[in-house]
């Protein structure tokens, strides 16, 4: 199968490979996988106080298309708000990288990874708000 130019570019020089600190409250981590092919993808985002994504990193074990899809995904979400990032669809990735039909599941994985990272961040944040709310409560007479 002939790979398109953009896939090869992202595959040979993947952008934003690496990890962010999972325990940082401003970092959301999404780990997703495809059981059929065994590919696994970790995508992490870091946001500022306005919920804008200031950094994104990924680590993917999989085929060239999976690596290219996640590399492109990190490039696209940087600078976006969480809501904006959620509007990215796997079909956008398919179009940009000209993925062949058998590799569409790789783009699905990248979209799932973005969603999982955002969901993780939101869960973390709501936990913090609860903690903050608890802290704010009068401590009572104990």
Integer angstrom CA distances of residue 107 from 2, 70, 91, 103, 129: 17, 8, 7, 7, 33
Q: Which of residues 5-34 bind other proteins (CB under 8 A)?
A: 31-34
- Under rule CB under 8 A, residue 37 binds other proteins: yes
When binding is defined by CB under 8 A, the residue of 5, 23, 36, 49 that contacts other proteins is 36
Which is catalytic among the residues 41, 56, 66, 106?
106
Between 42 and 103, CB nearer to other proteins? 42
Site string for other proteins, 61-90 (x = CB under 8 A): x-----------------------------
Active site residue 63: no
Catalytic residues: 37, 106
Q: Give the interface with other proteins as residue ranges (CB under 8 A).
A: 31-38, 40, 42, 59, 61, 105
């Amino acid at each position: 199968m002939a790979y398109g130019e953009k896939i090869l570019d992202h595959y040979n020089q993947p952008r934003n490979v690496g990890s962010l600190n999972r325990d940082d409250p401003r970092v959301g981590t999404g780990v997703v996988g495809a059981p059929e092919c065994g590919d696994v993808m970790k995508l992490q985002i870091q946001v500022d106080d306005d919920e804008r994504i200031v950094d994104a990193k990924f680590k993917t074990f999989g085929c060239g298309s999976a690596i290219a899809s996640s590399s492109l995904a990190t490039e696209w979400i940087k600078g976006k708000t969480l809501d904006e990032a959620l509007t990215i669809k796997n079909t956008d990735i398919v179009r940009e990288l000209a993925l062949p039909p058998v590799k569409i599941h790789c783009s699905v994985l990248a979209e799932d990874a973005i969603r999982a990272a955002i969901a993780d961040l939101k869960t973390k944040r709501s936990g913090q708000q609860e903690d903050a709310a608890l802290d704010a409560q009068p401590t009572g007479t104990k």
